[in-house]
A = this chain, B = another copy of it.
Amino acid sequence: MNQPPYTPPESFQGPIAVFGCGLIGASLAAAWSAAGHTVWGCDRRDLTLLLDKGWIRRQVPPEDLPQAKVVVLALPPQGIVAALRRIPFRPGQLVTDTGSVKAPVEQAAKVLPDGVRFIGGHPLAGDTASGFEAARTDLFQGASWVLLPSPAGPARGFLEDRIRELGAEPLTCSARRHDRIVALTSHLPQLLSTALAAEIAALDDPLADRLLGGGGQQFLRLAASPYPLWRDILSLNHEAVTTSLNDLFARASQPVEAQQADFRAANQLLARLGASSRRS
């Protein structure tokens, strides 16, 4: 397209550094470099593939992150917390993250020096596939992207613009409210899908795979997700996940007759979701 090259506001002129070039980080690098931004990649892995694709301009070590104008921590949640504690971010930098649990990140960010603009974030995007090999520029298309509350100003405006540039929609939500909702909408589905797949495997019955219909297979698809990421998420959001699991178990244990109201509520939710996915 013949659009003029993007000119960021003076204060954030400079490279966007993406720390953690897995599925999320590499997809960000791909989409933002395609939009004309200078992107640095930082990862323990060799990023020659991303350099060759033009998704990043340089591979930098963590020591160079304080030189970037904008730093995106696209690491597993424990890595985000560790990075906030260890990297000497500088006043004037905009720092954000993509972690699926927000309260511990918000807490860790309190150690940042005055003048570092930290805005926690979480794109509701992902895949059971992981690593930069699975990255794609349209990963965030149509996704919601939670941002923690922060003062209005150029940092937030810049970040919201970058999110919209990815085809995603920024929305504001407190860390506590976010963590409680995603315990139900994301963390329990993962936990239950994995546990059910493990129960089926434990049956050790050669007919079990054959007696898995289309609905069961869809339900189990999340069970392909990698443990290391989910270990972080499930342990950092342990309280909300445990509460939600107990509530869910109580609900599912009700007598069948009492579940009619749940089926009604569930049918309504699904109809609403079907309508909204048709809209998008």
Could you tell me which A residues sit within 8 Å of B by CB distance? Answer: 124-128, 143-144, 146, 171, 173, 177-178, 180-182, 184-186, 188-203, 205, 207-227, 230-231, 234-235, 238, 242, 244-245, 247-249, 251-253, 256-257, 259-274, 276-277
Contacts and interface: CB of A to CB of B under 8 A. Distances in A.
Contact of A269 (B124, B178, B197): B197
B184 A266 contact: no
B193 A219 contact: yes
A184 to B, nearest CB: 5
A200 B180 CA distance: 10
Q: Is the interface of A mostly helix, strand, loop or mixed?
A: helix
24 contacts: A126-B214, A126-B215, A128-B270, A181-B211, A184-B203, A185-B200, A185-B211, A186-B211, A186-B212, A186-B215, A189-B216, A191-B252, A191-B259, A193-B219, A193-B266, A197-B265, A197-B266, A198-B261, A217-B277, A218-B219, A220-B266, A231-B260, A234-B256, A245-B249
B195 A212 contact: no
Complex copy number for this chain:
2
Contact of A231 (B203, B227, B257): B257
B185 A252 contact: no
A231 B256 contact: yes
B198 A266 contact: yes
A270 B185 contact: no
Given A213-B186, A215-B126, A259-B227, A252 B208 contact: no
Contacts of A251: 195, 198-199
A262 B195 contact: yes
A108 to B, nearest CB: 19
Highest count of chain B CB atoms <10 Å: which of A126, A249, A269: A269
A127 B199 CA distance: 24
A214 B256 CA distance: 29
Q: In the A-B complex, list the 3 residue pairs whose CB atoms are closest, starting with the nearest.
A: A197-B266, A223-B266, A227-B263
A211 B182 contact: yes
A271 B199 CA distance: 16
B185 A213 contact: yes
Interface centre among A184, A222, A247, by most chain B C-beta atoms within 10 angstroms, is A184
